[in-house]
Amino acid sequence: MNTQWSREQTSGEQVPSTAHRFRRILGLVAMTLALLLIVSCTAYVAYVHHSLSGNIRHETMLPNPDDTTGSSGEGHQADGSPGREGTPKTAMDVLLIGSDRIQTGDVERSDVIMLAHLSGDCKKIYLVHFPRDMYVNIHGVGMARINAAYANGGAPLLVETLEDMLNIHIDHVAAITSDGFIAMTDAVGGVDVYAEEASTEYEVNIHVGWNHLDGAEASVFVRERHQLTRGDISRGRRQQSFIRALMLKALSKETLMNPVRFAKFVDAVTRNLTVDTGLSVDEIYSEALKLRNIRSGDFVFVTAPITKYAFTAEGASVALVDEGRLTSLGDALRNDTMADYPAGEQIP
């Protein structure tokens, strides 16, 4: 008998041997698994897109309700004026706002005011913290602490205040509740953050160095300021460290390759995040892909420059702005030259 073929005694037709039939079965199984994998991946992507589209809230958060330019809008020249029509603005500036409640019409002060500057080459993320006691000019309010802008006019007035102060254009706004911070942190299994100072507020023991925090602990970590030496400035550095840790964990293979964990994270984000009407789901997905290779050292922490703390005529403690350095910061943001801006000591 031939090793490859045998003849059917009754018909004389050639039929595959056992080994050949086994290889054919293996091939069919492999093809079936591949198709199942493609279908599963497609369904998974569809689920993520559906969750982002269905749950994420869009509100008017920019001064100009028709501003939907985002990163693909008109460029901006060094003086802040619009560039040539069609000139791409490759860098992106996103205002991050954190508060206890993010709802249209609420009168409140934001606990987190941070500008995320994504460099045009997508290799660096600069997190610029604005101490909430910064004493600035707010349209319709006058000189006041910067968080009064949010209290009096919501995200649009806060954006307008920062744009006027820095002579820049802010592309997008994202606001999240404190409950959102907790849910997102728990969804990725907790985060590892570096603390420059110890604290014991609300019986959450934070020690100097690396700390693994769950959602509730992270919420305390980013809020604490009374036990820190520089108050709101120290708290801002903690917030920067936490945001970096959360972004890194969310973009890690540990999360992205775990469908259950990633689904939980997407659900936590979409149920607690509010973005401006111009920030589409496709753009969120596109920007996330660009940042998939970002590493801890690619984050740069910056604190908006202030000279000292003083008291107003009404007795309120405020942080006075260093106008010269603030102008330099605005220039660096507008021209995407943050690499040349003196950022100061970084958090490990």
Tell whether 65 and 157 lie within a shared domain.
yes
Residues in the chain: 348
Is residue 106 a part of any domain in this protein? yes
Over 80: is that where the pLDDT of 137 sits? yes
**Residues ≥6 apart with Cβ < 8 Å to 42:** none
Same domain, 136 and 272: yes
Q: Do the beta carbons of residue 212 and residue 194 sit within 8 Å? A: no
* Residue 115 β-bridge partners: 95, 128
pLDDT at 265 (0 to 100): 85
Asked, for residue 86, whether it belongs to a domain, the answer is: yes
HEC string of the chain?
Answer: CCCCEEECCCCCCEEECHHHHHHHHHHHHHHHHHHHHHHHHHHHHHHHHHHHHHHCEEECCCCCCCCCCHHHCECECCCCCECCCCCECCCEEEEEEEECCCCCCCCCCCCEEEEEEECCCCCCEEEEECCCCEEEEECCCEEEECHHHHHHHHHHHHHHHHHHHHCCCCCEEEEEEHHHHHHHHHHCCCEEEEECCCECHHHCCECCEEEEECHHHHHHHHHCCCCCCCCHHHHHHHHHHHHHHHHHHHCCHHHHCCHHHHHHHHHHHHHHEEEECCCCHHHHHHHHHHCCCCCHHHEEEEECCEEEEEECCCCCEEEEECHHHHHHHHHHHHHCCHHHCCCCCCCC
At residue 47, the pLDDT reads 52
User: Would 284 be classed as within a structural domain?
Assistant: yes
Token reading at 174: 């994202």
- Residue 124 token pair: 């660096």
Q: Are the CB atoms for 218 and 195 separated by under 8 Å?
A: no
Could you tell me which residues come within 8 angstroms of residue 98 by beta carbon, excluding any fewer than 6 positions away? 110, 111, 112, 114, 175, 176, 177, 178, 181, 222, 239
What distance, in Å, lies between the first and last C-alpha atoms of the chain? 73
- Domain boundary among the residues 26, 55, 84 is at 55
For the segment 133-140, the average pLDDT, to the nearest whole number, is: 93
Q: Do 114 and 160 belong to one domain?
A: yes
Check whether 210 has a pLDDT greater than 90. yes
Structure-token pair, residue 56? 């994420």
Q: Round to whole Å and give the CA distance between 48 and 258.
A: 13
Position 82 pLDDT exceeds 70: no
**Average pLDDT of 7-20?**
56
Q: Which span out of 53-57, 203-207, 289-293 was modeled with the highest average pLDDT?
A: 203-207
- Per the CB < 8 A criterion, the answer to whether 135 and 143 are in contact is yes
Report the pLDDT value the prediction gives residue 7, as an integer from 0 to 100.
47
189 and 64 within one domain? yes
Asked, for residue 131, whether it belongs to a domain, the answer is yes
340 phi, psi to nearest 5 deg: -95, -5
> Do 214 and 98 belong together in one domain?
yes
Looking at residue 55, its pLDDT comes to: 66
Say yes or no to pLDDT of 25 above 80.
no
Share of residues in the chain with pLDDT > 70 (%): 74
pLDDT greater than 80 at residue 46: no
The predicted model scores a pTM of 0.77
Supply the mean pLDDT for the chain: 80
Residue 248 has pLDDT above 60, yes or no: yes
Q: How far apart are CA 240 and CA 220, in angstroms?
A: 14
Contact 111, 101 (CB under 8 A): no
Q: What is the CATH number of the domain that holds 76?
A: 3.40.630.190
Q: Are residues 37 and 110 in the same domain?
A: no
Mean pLDDT of all residues in 5-12: 49
Structure tokens at 15: 């039929």
Asked whether residue 19 falls in the same domain as residue 126, the answer is no
Q: How many domains does the chain have?
A: 2
Confidence check: pLDDT of 48 > 60: no
Cα separation, 66 vs 206, whole angstroms: 44
CA dist 184 and 248 (Å) reads 12
Give the structural domain span for 98.
59-340
d(CA 68, CA 225): 36
Whether the predicted pLDDT of 20 surpasses 70: no
User: Does residue 347 form part of some domain?
Assistant: no
- Scanning the structure block, which residue is given the tokens 């000591």? 345
pLDDT confidence of residue 70: 44
